[in-house]
A and B are shown apart, each in its own frame.
Chain A
């Protein structure tokens, strides 16, 4: 059961869209923990952690962490993602 304070991966679209040219919400990720394949939109996302944390909806492994360190530098940890399938540029079809 997901915590009531959780959002989902739709909330990552803006913050990651500033860094990357692809849309994370429709990209299909394979979890490095359990192998589940799901669109980024289906991750469980906490924006009130220090930074932003996205977890696999099946095994809860951290998929992605994004932190601004306050000096204008952004850190992105993608170690929980085995692969990302990206269909088309943002907004394309």
Chain B
């Protein structure tokens, strides 16, 4: 379901981990079983709440990685060494473990394919996760809208979903992906080898950028710089949708 109507307030639900799969040395995808999950839209997130034995609670937001049509809800979580929630999710949580989850959250940072305009996605580090939900949704629903992902990470080993993204881009259906590695590149690397900048964004922007949408997600400084550059290139400010992660540093 591309659109679900969830009337009423959000409340905390119990999520049970059904499986976990490592994505990189720091990131894990958790597939969850959430009874009566109402469905979600591509780009939405959930809030996760952990409660310690002494009652201390910590809440953090994580983007949904799965497409709405996928059989189960999946989150991809990157470990922050000084984090209060991600270390448990990435290194401890195992099938059968439970935690509290609130969502789906957000109606702004959402792309569900209802517009024909080509869409540019720009992700820094784990900011690629909600953009992956959009790319997966486009593929699952065979949405013909052109979509391009510019994905910045520190090194090749830090890229999430690499083989799946390359597979999606290998088809001739209007999806392509461009990588930018900021710290280390492997021999023979053909992608960009620097931080995302205005010249790079000018290269990857669609000719229709004066009317078409863009979605930018990543650490706060990354999002600020990319969004400002996109507006300078002619993207309408109201069409550049942003979501900031705070200081995770993943894309810089």
Binding site for B on A (CB under 8 A): 1-11, 13-15, 17-21, 23, 25-26, 39-42, 89-93
Q: Which residue of A lies closest to B6 (CB)?
A: A91
Q: Which residue of B lies closest to A47 (CB)?
A: B246
Q: Which residue of A lies closest to B217 (CB)?
A: A10
Cross-chain pairs A/B with CB under 8 angstroms, 19 sampled:
A5-B220, A6-B246, A8-B220, A8-B242, A13-B45, A14-B59, A15-B47, A17-B10, A18-B11, A19-B9, A21-B7, A23-B107, A25-B106, A41-B109, A90-B6, A90-B10, A91-B3, A91-B104, A92-B3
1/0 contact string of B22-62 vs chain A (CB within 8 Å): 00000000000000001001000111000000000001010
Band of interface residues on B: 35 or more
Is there an interface contact between A10 and B102, defined as CB atoms closer than 8 Å?
no
B8, B38, B108, B245: residue with the most chain A Cβ atoms closer than 10 Å = B108
Q: Which residue of A lies closest to B224 (CB)?
A: A2
Binding site for A on B (CB under 8 A): 3-11, 38, 41, 45-47, 59, 61, 102-109, 114, 219-221, 223-224, 241-247
Which residues in B have their C-beta under 8 angstroms from that of A2?
A: 220, 224
Which residues in A have their C-beta under 8 angstroms from that of B4?
A: 91
Which residues in B have their C-beta under 8 angstroms from that of A89?
A: 5-7
Interface of A is mostly: loop
Is there an interface contact between A18 and B102, defined as CB atoms closer than 8 Å?
yes
* Interface residue from A11, A13, A18, A91 paired with B41 (Cβ < 8 Å): A91
Which residues in B have their C-beta under 8 angstroms from that of A15?
A: 47
A14, A18, A89: residue with the most chain B Cβ atoms closer than 10 Å = A14
Is there an interface contact between A10 and B5, defined as CB atoms closer than 8 Å?
no
